[in-house]
Amino acid sequence: MCGRARCTLRADDIPRACRLNGRPLRSINTDRYRPSYNVSPGRDIPVVRREDGSDGDGVVLQCMKWGLIPSFTKKDEKPDHYKMFNARAESIREKASFRRLVPKNRCVVAVEGYYSCCNGNVMLFRFYEWKKDGSKKQPYYIHLKDGRPLVFAALYDTWKNTEGEIHYTFTILTTSSSSTLGWLHDRMPVILGDKESMDTWLFGSPSSKFETVLKPYEGPDLVWYPVTSAMGKPSFDGPECVMEIKLKTEETKPISQFFSKKGVDSEQGSKLGSMHGDLIKNNQPKSLKEEPQTQDSLDHPSVTDEGNDESKPNISTLTNEGAGNLPIKRNYEELSADAKPAGGKAEKPQTSPARKKKNVGPADDKQPTLLSFFGKR
């Protein structure tokens, strides 16, 4: 895929970069061209195409907007140059948007490098590509080692708006990535690396086997390096776009350091634990039945867990000194004697009244029973 490029060439250098020396050349709208380090879809770029209705060697250097707008687009529709700024070379003979353009609307684009590429005609430039790492995207600047411009295969079309203005737009062809760039992206622009491939694409007959040139570029002179992520903003421009940066690598600690740190933490934790244990041990009473003696405990031996909690029974806690002055144990006989009534007769233990059964009460009992109540109903 190609969506950003560097095109800082002068307009008159582009025909030479496309190796078109000696061919008749005509220029159209080249005054619209503005060199830029960060060209994105919607910008005007010089494109080389074949002269209309000519079977000869004449060529045209014309500024076109990057991002194809098909001729069948409605006149009142707002053009979107991001929809078709790339076209898959494998399917240009199948899709209606591109199939009709292959016979006579082929072109080339020349750039110094790319971050991401275009379509259609041949284009010369360097380009940028983004490496996706999770949620982050790292752009790379891709170019030829010796500084020569890159020439891309492209297709162009014309579209007329409601005001009758004719707009020329183009798209850059892409193919599967080369063996050296597969780690970066699965697609790359079609690079026409020699004069023969450029002439085949630009001047070949409709029956030509364009598949021979629409293939990945495997040259060893294609190099790359990381650049600033600010390339994602179309407004970011200037030499800073192609300055190489150093990627931040995550610091990895050796496993020995991990265990040593853990050992230090555990040792500190054990020391803190022992200190805490000593404090608890010193503050605990000597016996579970004993509590630290205070002046209040000596004066008032009976203490409750919650002073204002009347719902809980009071549990007396006796100190060693107060325990000797109070009767701790009483004989069973004394307790039984206190429990007997004064008359000498033992009262019968009170028991809960037995549940009444059916027809248990006497016949003359005037108190209604539960069954009689239901009987009235």
Count of C-beta atoms within a 10 Å radius of residue 114: 32
DSSP per residue, 234-288? TT--SGGGG---PPPPPP---HHHHHHHHHHHHHHHHHHHHHHHHHHHHHS-SST
Annotated active-site residue 129? The verdict is yes
Q: Angle at Cα 329 formed by Cα 327 and Cα 331, nearest 5°?
A: 120
Cα→Cα distances 120→69, 105, 117, 129, 338, Å: 12, 8, 11, 19, 118
Distance CA 377, CA 359 (A): 18
Strand partners, 111: 150
- Bridge pairing between strands 5-7 and 36-39: antiparallel
Residue 201: its H or E element: helix 195-203
Q: How many CA atoms lie within 13 A of 250 on its CB side?
A: 2
Residue showing tokens 């803190």? 272
Annotated active-site residue 241? The verdict is no
- Bridge pairing between strands 86-88 and 166-176: parallel
Cα→Cα distances 259→60, 188, 250, 269, Å: 70, 46, 20, 15
Residue showing tokens 């496309």? 18
Which residue among the candidates 2, 18, 63, 117 is catalytic per the annotation?
Answer: 2
Which residue among the candidates 7, 112, 129, 241 is catalytic per the annotation?
Answer: 129
Per the CB < 8 A criterion, the answer to whether 84 and 119 are in contact is yes
Residue type, position 157, single letter: D
DSSP per residue, 37-105? EEE-TTSEEEEEEEPTT--SS-EEEEEEEES---TTS-TTSPP-TTSSSEEEGGGTTTSHHHHTTTTT-
Supply the residues annotated as catalytic.
Answer: 2, 129
